[in-house]
Structure 1
Amino acid sequence: MNDKYIDWNDLKLFLAVAREGGLSAAARSTQRSPATLGRRMHQLERVMERELFHRHDRGYELTTDGKALLEEFTQIEAQILRQTAPLSTALRPLVKISAGTWTTHLLIKRLDMLTTPQSNTLIRFVAEEKILSISHREAVIGFRNQRPTEDFLVCRKLSRVEFAPYATKNAPDLWIKVIANTPSAGWLNRSIGNNIVCEVNNPRSSLDLAIEGNGIALLPTFIGDMHPQLLRVGKTIEELSHDQWLVTHHEDRYLPEVRSLIQRISTLFECY
């Protein structure tokens, strides 16, 4: 490394650009202009004498050096946050649980099975259809539809997930179509044609519409069976059936708060 000074603020900006995948999104979260961020990233690369990003029209993609820097400084950031947190929160461990819409819905509905008034753990639910990075600590516990292959992850197989159509007794024979990047939304797009009552861009909205008797929603059976107003109005869709895996970092699995939550979540899914 040369004798140029590294501005620690540039490292904070690097974290934002790396996580957002581009300058425009990072500009919104950092309140800096894209031009300023681009200039600061170039300066950081010159000082560190390594290329951190591949720059494309579609955004900023991390190089191997960039990925290594992101992982190291994510851990440093977490340590700094723990050390500087107010005493009232510093003693309460935070566990971020990442899951899709439906699994998050179940976890929230059965929060009583995950925590108790005596529990010292603060749970943060992160509802995302995309997979968040556990190595970068975007989540501590995550749900996956396939067994992970990364060496640093450990997993536990949960009950199998199945999908079926649900509606109220007198609902019209029309589908609620979901516009989203999910396998179930893809099946609806291929299978129901124009036999629809409306479209939604949030899977959860299809449940709300079905409960109100507006049409047929394609739901995981663990969600549809939870609501007594809804009836199965067709067979399970075999091509959408899949195993579900509970995943965490191998370094976190022995933390008391993580170990306890993994056991409680596993018990919850044994009921469905």
Structure 2
Amino acid sequence: MDIQWDDLRIFLAVARHESLSGAGKALKLDPATVGRRIARLEESAGAVLFAKSPQGYSLTDEGHALRARAAEAEQSIIGGIEQMRGQAGRLTGTVRIGAPDGAANYLLPQVCAQICEANPGLEVQIVALPRVFNLSRREADMAIGVSPPASGRLMVQKITDYRLHLAASVRYLARAGTPKSLADLGQHKIIGYIPDMIFDKELDYLAEVGVSHVDFSSNSVAVQLNWARQGAGLTVAHDFALPSAPELRKVLVEEASLVRSFYLIRHAADRRVPRLNRFAEALTAGLRKEVARLEALT
């Protein structure tokens, strides 16, 4: 089997961008060239690595298996180059983080921007998806979760606790009145998750405050927050997101106060990858600091 590293590098780019054009743009190659290299790799491997459709390129089972190995090889090569260049203290290459959209929208951009500012050769990709990431298939180098996984060859580290409260816009409260107790919530419009799309029990906030109805729903925290900003109703909001929504006010602060946690989840094999260890350390410290800073503003 004659497989060249450069073909694997192109394979990883297509897997990450899910298109020939996206991979070509990232690699500064013509999409037709990318397509030819993928065809050559599939021929060498004796397997179909991508399922092609009008929506793009998605990995087959064989493609997922190769991606996991290719990503490990990529990390080893990058680490070796850093050592050879005497840059062991600096981060380079690409790191992909999977995260729920609350963290992805309101925490990761500023934290990762600071890390990249200190490490000019580093590229960070943030994938915001309302579901659990499959690290075994190398959908991301690491993920942020709201609960620790119960199985898998994974490393799990608690990052920090965070707080949530009921909130609504000043305009909504002026129109509908401010609830005085949890019992009053039955008379208010409620914004929350689409019930059958709650992918983790830790996200079932409304059940914890005794609310059984939802008038406006989305699988996105950002959409829920923006609905509240427009005066649609009450929502359970992350305290760290409230500084970005000055129209909102907390209500029932004592009665409806929730605490959740973020966890950093990594593949166990990455324990031996120094650059990912250093990035994880910087990310964890940055997130703890940013959550504390934003919550102090509310």
Could you say which TM-score interval applies, normalised by the shorter chain? Answer: 0.5 to 0.7
Q: Give the CA RMSD over aligned residues.
A: 5.1
Counterpart selection for 2:19 from 22, 26, 42: 26
- 1:73 maps to amino acid: A
Q: Give ranges in structure 2 of 5+ residues lacking alignment.
A: 25-29, 177-188
Asked if 1:221 corresponds to 2:238, the answer is yes
Q: Give the superposition deviation at 1:134.
A: 4.8
Asked if 1:263 corresponds to 2:285, the answer is yes
Q: Give the superposition deviation at 1:143.
A: 0.7
CA pair 128-117 structure 1, distance change in 2 beyond 3 A? closer
C-alpha distance in structure 2 between counterparts of 1:53 and 1:109, whole Å: 32
CA offsets per residue over residues 210-263 of structure 1, 9 Å max, x none?
34x52325343323554564223466498xx75431223423478444324323
Greater helix fraction, Structure 1 or Structure 2: 2
CA offsets per residue over residues 56-98 of structure 1, 9 Å max, x none?
99975533x54442223224445667859xx9x9984145543
C-alpha distance in structure 1 between counterparts of 2:59 and 2:261, whole Å: 31
Q: Does the 8 Å CA contact 1:179/1:201 hold for their aligned counterparts?
A: yes
Counterpart selection for 2:67 from 61, 67, 70: 70
Counterpart selection for 2:262 from 241, 244, 247: 244
- 1:155 maps to amino acid: V
Q: Give the superposition deviation at 1:40.
A: 7.0
Q: Does the 8 Å CA contact 1:98/1:139 hold for their aligned counterparts?
A: yes
C-alpha distance in structure 1 between counterparts of 2:155 and 2:282, whole Å: 15
CA pair 26-205 structure 1, distance change in 2 beyond 3 A? same
Instruction: Count the aligned residue pairs.
Output: 247
User: Which residue in the other structure is 2:144 paired with?
Assistant: 143
Percent identity for Structure 1 against Structure 2: 19
CA pair 222-141 structure 1, distance change in 2 beyond 3 A? farther
Aligned to 1:247, the other structure's residue is in SS state strand
Q: Give ranges in structure 1 of 5+ residues lacking alignment.
A: none
C-alpha distance in structure 1 between counterparts of 2:128 and 2:280, whole Å: 20
Counterpart selection for 2:249 from 227, 231, 247: 231
CA pair 166-72 structure 1, distance change in 2 beyond 3 A? same
CA offsets per residue over residues 107-164 of structure 1, 9 Å max, x none?
258649x94899447573614124455567664442112313332x322224455654
CA pair 215-208 structure 1, distance change in 2 beyond 3 A? same
CA pair 150-208 structure 1, distance change in 2 beyond 3 A? same
C-alpha distance in structure 1 between counterparts of 2:13 and 2:110, whole Å: 34
Q: Does the 8 Å CA contact 1:166/1:224 hold for their aligned counterparts?
A: no
